[in-house]
Amino acid sequence: RFVAIALLTGFLSVVAGQLRPMPSAGLPGDLFGLGIASRIRTDHNSTAKASTDFGQMVNAAPEAVFHPATPADIAELIRFSASSAAPFPVAPRGEGHSWRGQALAPGGVVVDMSSLGRGHRAPRINVSAAGAEPFVDAGGEQLWIDVLRATLQHGLAPRVWTDYLRLTVGGTLSNAGIGGQAFRHGPQIANVQELDVVTGTGEMVTCSRDMNSDLFFAALGGLGQFGVITRARIRLEPAPKRVRWVRLAYSDVATFTKDQEFLISKRTDQIKFDYVEGQVQLNRSFIEGPKSTPFFSGTDLARLASKTGSAAIYYIEAAMYYTEDTAILVDKKMKALLDHLSFEKGFVFTKDVTFLQFLDRVREEESVLRSAGVWEVPHPWLNLFVPRSRILDFDNGVFKALLKDANPAGIILMYPMNKDMWDDRMTAMTPTTNDDVFYAVSMLWSALSMDDVPQLERGNKAVLDFCYQQGIECKQYLPHYTSQDGWQQHFGTKWSKIAELKARYDPQALLSPGQRIFSKPV
Ligand code: FAD
């Protein structure tokens, strides 16, 4: 009988000109009578795809996946849920590149943001190049690589980039969006001028620093809690043509951090780097890991190992932008900067690439990892912001002790940012100590099998416990807590404001439930 009803429903829907989905037992039946119903999918294939993420450590199916054609469709879905006798959760999903289920909606509806960008008559990336302050209006669903390509056509580009560009505008702005340019320009959220947001009551609101500013600041770094970002206006600058990209090796952490901090203090000088990051290579991975990298040959690494006694190695990665006609100047500037630095003599490795190649560099690594079958594996990543005043204690306790004999697959990033480039009115958190500099430390582990996950998770917990015991205020970036207590500690004095904004913009606590911040109406 069930099959007969299903067939009949399908038949009637096709006759009506729209393929309507089967109502899902867990969602109100009226939902399937709305005009947007033809965009809802309840079949197993659709829900299975929205049940996990890049991290592959959480699996929870939604009741349905929604493919909106316009932001108004999202508003209609949320309004329906908010006014329903049985409200259901709604999670916008960008690329699902989170790792702890943040974009999942168990028992609710996942909004597949990518469908906003499809088949549109009006393009959803619009560059305004004419004025003195150029900007791009990009749909929240757009990938940063597409924003880059569109803006480059006008000789322009956003100022701050994540290392990987297959992430959506809405997904990174819901966190902060950090990378090697953030020391100069702040995180991506500090470079946004205006947003269109669909709130948790289904209202469509345009906001900026001067208009509906509390929603603007709440949504930036807001972990999807206050609304769905459907458009962001992002500041642009003239794009360089080429990039001189260097990697400098260090055996001593104090020298490494001193040099990094020197480089990020040069924000406005004529002679400066445009991008500064850093990496840590652990003892065992150095000896047992791959014998060559895109920067270093096997011979270089052997030379480095013999010189340093194979202690942990640190690398500054920095880049200077230029256009062809300033190539000679860039050599001079580079020399002037390198003369100030104390890397291991002779261990400077240089590449020269186009701006696009530089920004899209992780794509190449992705292809290599995919072909080796180690991209789509569990990723128990841990990202921390560590105050400058405790970074050497962190290094000593974590890299030189806890992880001393470990050889996890993955990479460790470590680079400083200037705190005054972050706007504390936004939801994103930085350490609350008095330090004017803090370090992003990203432990980007790959579990080569599911069996490796518990051990890596124990390692992550040991790092967090170490910080707690030593009184090091390590603020999680891309945070994950399993209890509201954890979130309250994370937000500290901002918590009451967060709860107040949640009560105003998403009182039923519908949005992005996978963050596990609010589980019931506020
Ligand atoms: P999703 O995983 O789909 O969503 C993340 C969260 O945001 C969810 O809670 C979701 O509900 C919410 N959300 C999604 N879209 C919207 C929207 N339009 N409006 C409101 N809420 C929304 N981060 C950095 O800062 N710097 C880096 O260099 C960096 N490198 C990375 C490299 C890789 C390989 C990966 C996998 C991640 C990296 N990240 C980096 C982390 C990344 O920025 C976040 O995981 C980001 O959330 C992923 O974007 P997404 O579009 O896949 O979001």
The 3-class secondary structure across 251-306, one letter per residue, is CCHHHHHHHHHHHHHCCCCCCCCCEEEEEEECHHHHHHCCCCCCCCCHHHHHHHHH
Compute the mean pLDDT over every residue in the chain, rounded to the nearest whole number: 92
Q: Is the pLDDT of residue 308 over 90?
A: no
The stretch 389-405 carries a mean pLDDT of 94
Question: Which stretch of DSSP H or E encloses residue 91?
Answer: strand 90-93
Ligand 1 atom having least distance to the Cα of 163: 28
Are 410 and 447 in contact by the 8 Å Cβ rule? The answer is: no
Evaluate if residue 30 carries a pLDDT over 60: yes
Question: Is the distance from the beta carbon of residue 177 to the nearest atom of ligand 1 less than 6 Å?
Answer: yes
Which among 56, 57, 97 is the best mutation to test ligand 1's pocket, defined by most ligand atoms within 8 Å of the CB? 97
Does pLDDT of 69 surpass 50? Answer: yes
Q: With a 6 A CB cut-off, is 104 part of the ligand 1 pocket?
A: no
Report the candidate in 224, 238, 237 with the shortest Cα–Cα distance to residue 168.
Answer: 224
Longest dimension (CA), the chain: 80
User: What's the burial of 308, exposed, middle or buried (CB within 10 Å: 0-12/13-18/19+)?
Assistant: middle
User: Is 42 touching ligand 1 by the criterion CB < 6 Å?
Assistant: no
Pick the residue whose CA is nearest to atom 40 on ligand 1. Answer: 162
Geometric angle at alpha carbon 460, from 456 and 464, rounded to 5°:
165
Query: Residue written as tokens 């970074």?
Result: 391
pLDDT band, very low/low/confident/very high, at 16 (cuts 50, 70, 90) = very low
pLDDT in tens, 83-95: 999 999 999 999 9
Percent of the chain at pLDDT above 90? 81
Residues with Cβ < 8 Å from 33, sequence gap 6 or more? none
Tokens of 392: 């050497």
163 Cβ inside 6 Å of ligand 1: yes
Compute the distance from residue 511 Cα to the ligand 1 centre, in Å.
15
pLDDT of residue 25: 72
**Phi, psi (deg, nearest 5) at residue 329:** -60, -40
Distance 224 CA to ligand 1 centre (A): 10
Instruction: Quote the pLDDT of residue 520.
Output: 86
According to DSSP, residue 419 is labeled G
How high is the pLDDT of residue 18?
Answer: 47
pLDDT at 181: 98
Looking at the annotation, which residues are catalytic?
97, 163, 277
Q: Kindly state the DSSP code that residue 143 receives in the 8-state scheme.
A: B
Report the pLDDT value the prediction gives residue 307, as an integer from 0 to 100.
Answer: 66
Distance CA 379, CA 120 (A): 34
**Span 323-339, pLDDT tens digits:** 977 888 999 999 999 99
| Structural contact between residues 116 and 68, judged by C-beta atoms closer than 8 angstroms | yes
With a 6 Å cutoff on the Cβ, whether 95 touches ligand 1 is yes
Q: What is the pLDDT of residues 277-306, one digit of tens each?
A: 999 988 666 656 655 566 777 777 777 777
> How far does the centroid of ligand 1 lie from the alpha carbon of residue 310, in Å?
35
pLDDT tens profile 47-62: 999 999 999 999 999 9
Q: In this predicted model, what pLDDT tens digit does every residue of 440-477 receive, in sequence order?
A: 999 999 998 888 999 999 999 999 999 999 999 999 99
- 276, 326, 444, 485, 499 from 506: Cα distances, Å: 38, 51, 32, 20, 10
Does the structure show a pLDDT above 80 at 310? no
Residues 6+ apart with CB under 8 A from 486: none
pLDDT digits (tens, 9 = 90+) for 211-254: 999 999 999 999 999 999 999 999 999 999 999 999 999 989 99
**Intra-chain end-to-end CA distance of the chain, in Å:** 42
If you average pLDDT over residues 185-212, what whole number do you get? 98
Rounded Cα distance, 477 and 414, in Å: 13
Quick one: which atom of ligand 1 is closest to the CA of 140? 18
* Whether residue 102 has its Cβ less than 6 Å from ligand 1: yes
CB 372 within 8 A of CB 284: no
Q: How far is the CA of 163 from the centre of ligand 1 (A)?
A: 12
Ligand 1 atom closest to Cα of 188?
A: 25
Mean pLDDT of 35-43: 97
pLDDT of residue 288: 62
For residue 238, give the DSSP letter: E
